[in-house]
Amino acid sequence: MSQHALLSAGTKSWRSLACSRSELRLDLTLGCGQSFRWRETGDGHWTGVMGGRVWTLTQTDDTLWYHTYNSPNTIGGDGRKRRAGSLLQGSKGSGKRSKGVIEGKEEEEGEPVAVTPDRKEEELLNDYFQLKVKLGDLYRDWGAADPHFNSIAKIFTGVRMLRQDPTECLFSFICTSNNHISRIQGMVERLCQSLGTPLCQLDQTSYHDFPSLHALADNSVEACLRDLGFGYRARFLQQSARQILDSHGGPHWLQGLRSAPYLQARDALRTLPGVGPKACVVPVDTHVWQIAKRDYSCAAGNGQKSLTDKVHRQIGDFFRQLWGPYAGWAHSVLFCSDLKKFQKLKETHSLKQEEEEKVKIKEEGEGINKKIIKMCNRKVKMSVKEEVE
């Protein structure tokens, strides 16, 4: 049986990309509730499904390492290539701008350029992590505008927005209402296991692709998902899939929204059942509301019991104005720093700082001339004397 790859077992089955931890932190980016499909399968090794194939990712100081696994079903065939390609072709049809990193590689339409698997995988990673966006520069700008961000930024480096497959992104999002990360992860996993195409098995874990719209739209899906513990969200998922298929013509509609003007795309998504006001560049929920009040003395909705539309707008506007055009990215950093599971990072960081402080004080103390030590001693003697007397 195949096993999850480990970098320590040798680098021959691994490829790499130059990428520092300040530009990307896998643990934070893959664990902060953007995607629910990555698991830490080894120390610092993250395994998940992306672009129709199974990956294990890990990183060293200046390098991002990746390993992909062959799917038994598609070995030797072109099924795998076609699947991965479909993710990119969607945006190709809807406008050249949105091709992003992929642009330029396959631009010449005459001959279909034979892209080697390595090349393609590198492109998939660049696209997924949006590596051409320079996070270091953004952190600098956000820090200059926002002292609180600055205090977080040293610890929570490398938190990026993922450019996920729109279908996966949308249907995972619908699962998040009134819910928390650990439960959502379980739900999405069960969703893929029961409705997604199997890809491969590693150490007793089977990996499946995210279900297609057609699979999600089937009338049997609501009952199926209720059995899997989706609660009232089961109906939203099935109905949204049906609506996209019936009144919008299918997946290309979702793909097309990537290149649509923001407000248009947002409003289009909000017509789907289970997609409410939180679907926004700065997704405002009760949690973000708490952050706004606690860390920014933001008075929006102070008298309110719950998040009304007005409060949503006010908080969204507040952060957009503070952080600028990449406010959604900055939000991820703040959000990440507030997650319970990452609080230990703050402790270890402040412990490190304390240690550094101690060392500093010690060094200073050692450097100081003996006069002071003598003075101290004298004082001690004096005080002892006083006490005695």
Partner DNA sequence: TTCAGACCTGT
Partner DNA sequence: CAGGTCTGA
List the catalytic residues.
278
Q: How far apart (Å, rounded) are the C-alpha atoms in residues 130 and 64?
A: 14
CA-CA-CA-CA torsion sign (159, 160, 161, 163) = negative
Chain positions 153 to 192 lying near DNA, rule: CB under 7 A, are 176-181, 183
Compute the radius of gyration of the chain from its Cα atoms.
26
- Three-class secondary structure of residue 310 per DSSP: helix
Residue closer to DNA (CB basis): 91 or 314: 314
Query: How many helices (H) and strands (E) in the chain?
Result: 17, 7
Structural contact between residues 46 and 58, judged by C-beta atoms closer than 8 angstroms: yes
Q: How far is the CB of 332 from DNA (least distance, A)?
A: 9
Residue closer to DNA (CB basis): 51 or 283: 283
User: Which residue among 85, 231, 250, 324 contacts DNA (CB under 7 A)?
Assistant: 231
Per DSSP bridges, beta strands 39-42 and 45-50 are antiparallel
Q: Which of these, 192, 236, 179, 230, lies nearest to 39 by C-alpha position?
A: 192
Q: Which stretch binds DNA (CB under 7 A): 111-119, 133-141, 207-215, 228-236?
A: 228-236
Q: Does 343 bind DNA (CB under 7 A)?
A: no
Strands (E), 205-316: 205-208
Q: Does 286 bind DNA (CB under 7 A)?
A: yes
Q: x-or-dash pattern for DNA, window 288-317, by CB under 7 A?
A: ----------------xxxxxxx-------
- Three-class secondary structure of residue 29 per DSSP: helix
User: Which residue among 278, 281, 317, 324 contacts DNA (CB under 7 A)?
Assistant: 278
Residue closer to DNA (CB basis): 83 or 226: 226
User: Which residue among 26, 33, 121, 330 contacts DNA (CB under 7 A)?
Assistant: 33
Q: Does 32 bind DNA (CB under 7 A)?
A: yes
Q: How far is the CB of 249 from DNA (least distance, A)?
A: 21
Q: Which stretch binds DNA (CB under 7 A): 6-14, 29-37, 103-111, 190-198?
A: 29-37
Residue closer to DNA (CB basis): 53 or 160: 160
DSSP category for residue 326: G
Q: How far apart (Å, rounded) are the C-alpha atoms in residues 61 and 56?
A: 17
Side-chain-facing half-sphere of 373: CA atoms under 13 Å: 7
Residue closer to DNA (CB basis): 198 or 277: 277
Q: Does 232 bind DNA (CB under 7 A)?
A: yes
Residue closer to DNA (CB basis): 102 or 282: 282
Q: Which of these, 83, 122, 73, 118, lies nearest to 102 by C-alpha position?
A: 122
Q: How far is the CB of 288 from DNA (least distance, A)?
A: 7
β-bridge mates for residue 17, sequence order? 64
Q: Which residues form the interface with DNA (CB under 7 A)? A: 32-34, 176-181, 183, 226, 229-233, 235-236, 272-279, 283, 285-287, 304-310, 335, 339
